Amino acid sequence: MLQLQENHSLLHALCVKPGIKFENQKADEIVLLSLRAHPITLIPTVINSMLIITLIFFSGFLLNQFLSWVQLIYLITFFLFVNFIYIWLQIVNWYFNIGIVTDKQIIDVDFSALSFRNISRTELEHVEDITVKVSGFASSIFDLGNIFVQTAGSEINTEFMNVPHPARAAHIIQDILKQNGNTQ
């Protein structure tokens, strides 16, 4: 039996034996690995929201000449609320875009904008190749990259984007495949 030590890291972006359950999980199926994008990928959201907040307050000083204080407060509150929704949607999108590797299958959940969810499942015996791609300066510094799981025939190829420690995650997936008799 494959011996994996439980490990949770980077805000649960790479978890070995995470102890999670998912929809349509079989009774005897064990989740061995969960992957999501590195938390550093949320930095653009933080920068964008800080720029928006700065813009809101500076525009408040300019609009002060044309609007009453009550109107200005309502306008600033509205745009701060819109900014909060933007941040919230980005965090929800990051959290629910997850890859799950079990002892029977690989599942890729792509979630966007609270209204769309795409779930791709690949049985482990159909996996042909696992490729890791790390490109760029930031990816090298923060050790994040993309994992591509290629499958046989008409099966959908799976990709896990911007995951932390991609070489380690790919090695774990390869060990799971070897344990299940798939010598890819």
pLDDT of 110-161, one tens digit each?
887 777 888 889 899 889 999 999 998 988 898 999 999 998 877 778 999 9
Count of beta carbons in the 10 Å neighbourhood of residue 156: 13
Beta carbons within 8 Å of 181's beta carbon, 6+ residues apart: 125
Is residue 85 located within the same domain as residue 116?
no
Q: Is residue 55 within 8 Å of residue 122, measured between CB atoms?
A: no
Q: Which domain holds residue 137?
A: 7-37+97-179
Is the pLDDT at 82 greater than 90? The verdict is yes
pTM of the model: 0.83
Write down the residue that tokens 């344990």 correspond to. 179
Q: Which candidate, 51, 54, 75, places its Cα nearest to that of 63?
A: 75
- Specify the CATH number for the domain of residue 19: 2.30.29.30
Task: Answer yes or no: is 50 within a domain.
Answer: yes
Question: How many structural domains are present in the chain?
Answer: 2
Is residue 78 located within the same domain as residue 106?
no
pLDDT at residue number 77: 94
Task: Answer yes or no: is 172 within a domain.
Answer: yes
Is residue 87 located within the same domain as residue 152?
no
Distance CA 97, CA 19 (A): 17
